Each structure stands twice: as structure tokens, then as C-alpha cells.
């Protein structure tokens, strides 16, 4: 891929980064914005495999030796991370690549849970006796049921444990959250499933113990990302220690609190640098309050074109769509990007009317998702090979940034505005990126606009 083709994606590759001041200015609102970054060099896949695998294996070996020779695994893990200078993250930052171009690097490494000595403390005991997680322990102690959960053996849990300095990032003037919301924050750090580091590295989203009515019949999820900051959770909280094993699961240390995400609409509004055109279109057509009304849908997926995607339509087409005459066409076009009641993550699928949520298998997965545009569905193909996931819509447009986790669904950023197919000799012909004129767009949308107006 030529460097010039990558430049428009640089900002998008960090689209869901949450600056810490914005994250904690209001604990009931998450704020996302772009982070400045530049790619001086994009290595080949083989170079990435060699560098990251070597660093990961080296760090894992040294880490296990340090931890298993210690009296307290969690304290030693944090100490080791500080002393080692987080070598893996340094390698990743020096390499300079984006999350969307990560590689199928660690599927064959296996789990890193072959520890020399069997753990003798539960996850709760490790947290409550560590000098680095005193504030997390104090918060958990406010909820006896959480203490029981993290001491229990019903499941092998995973905890993304914020160290004390993560709590120090909360501004002094930040409003105190309600007890219910604070519990939701704690539950959002716990997964009822077992995710050692090797599994985290090949996973895009992880289910948590937090359940919400607005996302469907299934748990809220966190995303895992690899970028210039190293391995992160929800794009902003960096994993600084890995694989602290307890008798009932595993702990990974993180440097920032994980705050349950806001709604899809809030995320779009928080990112004008990426989605101002989309927000304007949703506002002009009256779709913004419809999408934001969670009483009308349970979960959902929005395939969100970036500002750059709209620019690719050209000034004539864009000008027409945002004119008073083109507004009805714009509404139909944007409805074609919105899926209600079905939440498609890159590695999981929730349907509002089913208790059987699906983990998307390795290999290929196809699903047709009905959109708000009556009678029109999106054909989505997911190719999943370890960390590498490629999502294409209608065989052409690619998801460039996966899994913008939201309270009421998920945002998948697409490389192109999705254009409905047109009928030729009773056959549907999908748009494949050819030059689009105003007349061609009207021809594709005219029958659909008539349905909308009726």
C-alpha cells in the first residue's frame, strides 16, 4: 500500500482514543477525540512478526521468572513492568503501525499460563493485598457481592485491574458518581471468561460482567487494540502488566480506569474531526434523534463514513445531497448505513431477539443485516485469522476502524459511503467504487426515496 493512501487513515486509526482529561471530567460521559500520530515507516508483515513475537516471548520469559520467584505476584508484576520499561510497547511504538494493519502474530504462541508454581490466592486476594491496587480494592470492598464474585470459583475470570495511579487521573472537581454507576464501572473491568495475554493479543473484543439493556441480550464489551501506545483496552487504557494468575482467573494491570461507553450519537458528536459531515447529515434528515432513542431499538450497528469518505464522493454529489432538493436522497442514503437490533462486533454478534449470542469463528463469516432503509440489507463478510480481521460490506467497502464500543451498539468506520445497488435487467448491481454522478445516485435512490415518502 502506498504511503499516500494511508495518510487519510492516520487520524481514523486513533479515532476512538479518549484523552484522559475528557474521560474523567465527567464520569457519566466518555469523550473521544483524535490523537496526532505519524507513520515514519510501515514495516512488512514479516518484520512485524519477528519484532513483536521476539519481544513478547522475551518479556514473557523474564516476567514469569520474576513473578514466580516472588511472594506477591501482582506486586512483582507491576514492579517488573516498571523496571523493564515495558519493552513490548517500546517495540510497537518504534515500529509505527496502526491497529487496522496488525498481524496474525500470536495465534501459534499458545497460552502463557504454564506457570512454574500453582497460584494460591484468588483474584480478590491478589488485588486486596497488593500495594499497587489499594484504591481498586477499597472500591470493590464497597460491594460484598463483588467480593464474593472475585473470590468464587464459578468461572475463570479476567480482571483488567487499574493501578492506584489510574485513580489519580480523576480531577479533584469531578462529580462523585452514584453507587450504582461506580459498581457498573467495576463490573466493566471484569470478564467472566478467561483471557490470558496470548488470547488477548488475538482478540478484538472481550465480554464483561456489565450487562445493559441498550446493547441487546448480551454483556457490554471492551475492545483490545494494538497501536502506537502498545496494547490497550478501549484505545486509551494501556496494559502495563500481564498474566498475574490467581486460583480463579487472571489479572492484567492497566494504567487508566475503564469507563462504560456513551451512546453512538454521543461518540459521533465527540469526534467532529472525523464525523462532522455524518453528524450534519443525520441532523438535517432527522435521523439523529431516531438513532439516539433507545426505546425504539435494542442494540445496533452503524457503519459510519468518515469525513474523508464523504469527500471521495466529489463536490458535486456531496453538494447535491446536502442541498434542500437532495435532502430526501441523503436520508435514504444514511438509513442504508444504520442497522437496528443487531450488533455486529468484529468477533461477536448480538441479536436483540435471541439469547444465543454468536462468537464469530475464525475463517470467514457472512451475514446479511437489514438496514433502516426499507427492504435493503447490507451483505457483510468477516474474514478472521487471529488478530487480523477484515470486514467488507457488499464486497467492496472495507471497515477501516473496528469496534467503536458504544452503550447502545457499535460503530464500524467504513472507507466509503455505502451506495445502494441498482437494478439492471432484474439483477442488482452493487457499487464498486466507480465514478458516481448525481444522475447515477438519483437513479439508485429514486425508488427508495419513493418508498420513504409513502
The tens digit of pLDDT for each residue in 50-87 reads 454 455 555 555 545 544 555 566 776 666 565 554 45
Q: How far apart are CA 218 and CA 354, in angstroms?
A: 9
Q: What's the CA gap between 377 and 368, in Å, rounded? A: 6
CA distance 7 to 4: 5
Q: Which residue, chain included where needed, has cell 454507576?
A: 181
Is 372's pLDDT higher than 70?
yes
Q: Are 273 and 221 in contact (CB under 8 A)?
A: no
Residue 352 above 90 pLDDT? no
Residue indicated by cell numbers 457499535: 410
Q: State mean pLDDT over 24-36.
A: 38
Q: What is the mean pLDDT of residues 387-400?
A: 90
| Sheet with 338-340, side-by-side order of all strands | 338-340, 300-305, 409-414, 397-406, 388-393, 377-385, 363-370
Residues in the chain: 454
Per DSSP, which regions of 228-333 are E strands? 230-233, 237-246, 249-254, 300-305
pTM for this entry: 0.76
For residue 24, the surrounding DSSP H or E stretch is helix 20-25
Interval 434-450: pLDDT, tens: 778 898 888 888 888 85
Q: How many Å apart are CA 238 and CA 233, to the nearest integer?
A: 6
The residue behind cell 486513533 is: 14
Which of 74-78, 250-254, 319-323, 402-406 has the least mean pLDDT? 74-78
**Interacting residues of 120 by C-beta distance below 8 A, sequence separation 6+:** 247
Per the CB < 8 A criterion, the answer to whether 391 and 356 are in contact is no
The CB density around residue 257, as the number of other CB atoms within 10 Å, is 24
Q: Is the pLDDT of residue 250 over 50?
A: yes
pLDDT in tens, 292-348: 998 888 899 999 999 999 999 999 999 999 999 999 999 999 999 999 999 999 999
Amino acid at each position: 500500500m502506498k504511503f499516500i493512501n494511508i495518510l487519510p487513515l492516520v487520524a481514523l486509526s486513533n479515532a476512538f482514543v479518549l484523552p484522559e482529561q475528557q474521560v474523567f471530567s465527567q464520569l457519566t460521559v466518555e469523550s473521544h477525540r483524535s490523537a496526532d500520530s505519524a507513520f515514519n515507516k510501515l514495516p512488512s508483515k514479516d518484520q512485524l512478526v519477528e519484532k513483536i513475537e521476539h519481544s513478547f516471548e522475551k518479556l514473557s520469559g523474564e516476567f514469569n521468572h520474576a513473578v514466580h520467584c516472588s511472594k506477591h505476584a501482582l506486586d512483582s508484576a507491576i514492579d517488573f513492568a516498571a523496571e523493564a520499561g515495558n519493552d513490548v510497547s517500546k517495540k510497537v511504538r518504534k515500529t509505527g503501525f496502526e491497529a487496522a494493519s496488525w498481524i496474525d502474530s500470536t495465534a501459534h504462541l499458545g497460552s502463557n499460563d504454564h506457570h512454574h508454581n500453582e497460584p494460591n490466592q484468588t483474584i480478590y486476594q491478589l488485588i486486596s493485598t497488593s500495594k499497587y491496587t489499594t484504591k481498586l480494592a477499597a472500591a470493590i470492598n464497597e460491594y460484598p457481592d463483588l467480593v464474593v464474585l472475585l473470590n468464587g470459583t464459578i468461572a475463570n475470570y479476567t480482571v483488567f485491574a487499574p493501578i492506584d495511579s489510574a485513580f489519580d487521573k480523576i480531577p479533584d472537581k469531578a462529580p462523585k458518581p452514584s453507587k450504582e454507576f461506580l459498581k457498573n464501572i467495576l463490573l466493566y473491568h471484569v470478564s467472566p471468561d478467561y483471557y490470558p495475554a496470548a488470547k488477548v493479543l488475538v482478540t478484538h473484543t472481550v465480554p464483561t460482567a456489565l450487562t445493559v439493556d441498550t446493547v441487546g441480550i448480551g454483556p457490554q464489551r471492551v475492545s483490545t487494540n494494538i497501536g502506537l501506545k502498545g496494547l490497550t483496552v478501549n484505545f486509551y487504557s494501556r496494559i502495563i502488566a500481564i498474566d498475574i494468575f490467581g486460583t480463579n482467573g487472571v489479572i492484567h494491570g492497566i494504567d487508566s480506569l475503564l469507563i462504560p461507553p456513551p451512546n453512538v450519537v454521543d461518540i459521533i458528536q465527540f469526534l467532529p474531526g472525523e464525523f462532522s459531515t455524518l453528524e450534519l447529515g443525520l441532523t438535517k434528515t432527522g435521523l439523529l434523534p431516531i438513532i439516539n432513542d433507545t426505546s425504539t431499538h435494542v442494540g445496533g450497528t452503524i457503519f459510519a463514513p468518515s469525513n474523508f469518505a464523504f469527500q471521495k464522493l466529489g463536490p458535486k454529489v456531496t453538494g447535491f445531497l446536502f442541498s434542500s432538493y437532495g435532502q430526501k436522497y441523503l436520508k435514504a442514503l444514511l438509513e442504508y448505513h444504520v442497522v437496528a437490533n443487531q450488533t455486529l462486533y468484529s468477533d461477536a454478534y448480538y441479536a436483540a431477539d435471541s439469547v444465543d449470542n454468536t462468537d464469530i469463528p475464525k475463517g470467514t463469516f457472512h451475514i446479511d443485516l437489514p438496514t433502516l432503509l426499507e427492504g435493503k440489507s447490507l451483505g457483510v463478510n468477516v474474514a478472521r485469522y487471529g488478530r487480523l480481521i477484515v470486514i467488507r460490506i457488499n464486497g467492496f467497502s472495507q471497515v477501516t476502524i473496528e469496534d467503536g464500543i458504544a452503550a447502545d451498539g457499535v460503530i464500524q468506520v467504513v472507507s466509503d459511503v455505502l451506495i445502494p445497488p441498482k437494478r439492471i435487467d432484474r439483477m442488482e448491481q452493487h457499487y464498486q467504487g466507480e465514478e458516481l454522478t448525481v444522475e447515477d445516485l438519483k437513479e439508485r435512490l429514486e425508488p427508495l426515496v419513493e418508498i420513504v415518502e409513502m
